[in-house]
Structure 1
Amino acid sequence: MAIAYLRMIPLVAVVALTGMPADARDDGRFANSPLKGWFESLRSKGGGPCCADADGTALDDVDWETRGGHYRVRIQSEWIDVPDDTVITEPNRVGRTIVWPYYVGGRTMIRCFMPGSMT
């Protein structure tokens, strides 16, 4: 019986780790970027920080759209409505569309969204 329990330990560990979201971290690649300070200063309309450039995800044009006057983004094959108070309205200095997602209970939420120019 003890052997059966020992065989289950790796399975339990894999199941536990599979459901845990990974947090993005700045690994130092952008430490000398001239835009680092600008990225770190970005705030949503609600006042919350968007985090640093390493925390955002650049989107291709096919992964965001406007519908009914509101933005939507596709993250991991799922379309998500962007809350209006997360949209950054200041000029986009990088040109690319960027979204700052986070995860709560398996649901994708949007911390900030900065539209780019669709080409």
Structure 2
Amino acid sequence: MLFLTVGILVPCFFGGVNARDLDGRYADSPLRDWFNHLSSSRGLCCSMADGQAVADPDWESKDGHYRVRLGNKWVDVPDEALITEPNRAGRTMVWGIYSDDEVWITCFMPGSMT
């Protein structure tokens, strides 16, 4: 729980936080700026976690809510983690913070909504 609290509070004390492109492979991507500003109600997606693409069999929607399979475990996506703007990347993506056996989803973006 301490890890989650620190992970949430630390970015609040700093202004703009750049997306996490740890090895620089996305530095020339035309979507880089879009990813840098992508956010849910929980804050900037890339500021605290790396996003990962999710294959179609590993996510689903039921009764207006989403869930995603992460590490062979289905996790409900909190409504406040949902990204509501159009998906320019096209792939379903999730940003999560992992601690022991727990996953805290900061952002979730379903596949293209166009």
TM range (shorter): 0.7 to 0.9
Q: 1:38 aligns with which of 34, 45, 50?
A: 34
For 2:82 and 2:32, the matched residues in 1 are separated by 19
1:20-75: CA deviations, max 9, x gaps?
xxxx75201001111011001011123x11007x9100000000001222000000
- Conserved? CA contact 2:96–2:103, under 8 Å: yes
TM-score w.r.t. the length of structure 2 is 0.74
Identify if the C-alpha distance between structure 1 residues 34 and 25 changes in structure 2 by more than 3 Å, giving closer, same or farther: closer
Q: 1:83 aligns with which of 65, 78, 83?
A: 78
What residue number does 1:112 align with? Answer: 107
Higher helix share: 1
What residue number does 2:97 align with? Answer: 102
After TM superposition, the runs of 4+ consecutive aligned structure 1 residues lying more than 6 A away are none
CA-based RMSD of the aligned residues comes to 2.0
Q: CA deviation at 1:104?
A: 3.0
Tell me, which stretches of 5 or more residues in structure 1 are unaligned?
1-23
Q: 2:68 aligns with which of 45, 67, 73?
A: 73
Q: Which amino acid aligns with 1:114?
A: M
Q: Which has the larger radius of gyration?
A: 1
Indicate the percent of aligned positions where both proteins have the same amino acid: 57
- Conserved? CA contact 2:88–2:112, under 8 Å: no
For 1:89 and 1:27, the matched residues in 2 are separated by 28
For 1:91 and 1:43, the matched residues in 2 are separated by 12
- Conserved? CA contact 1:97–1:115, under 8 Å: yes
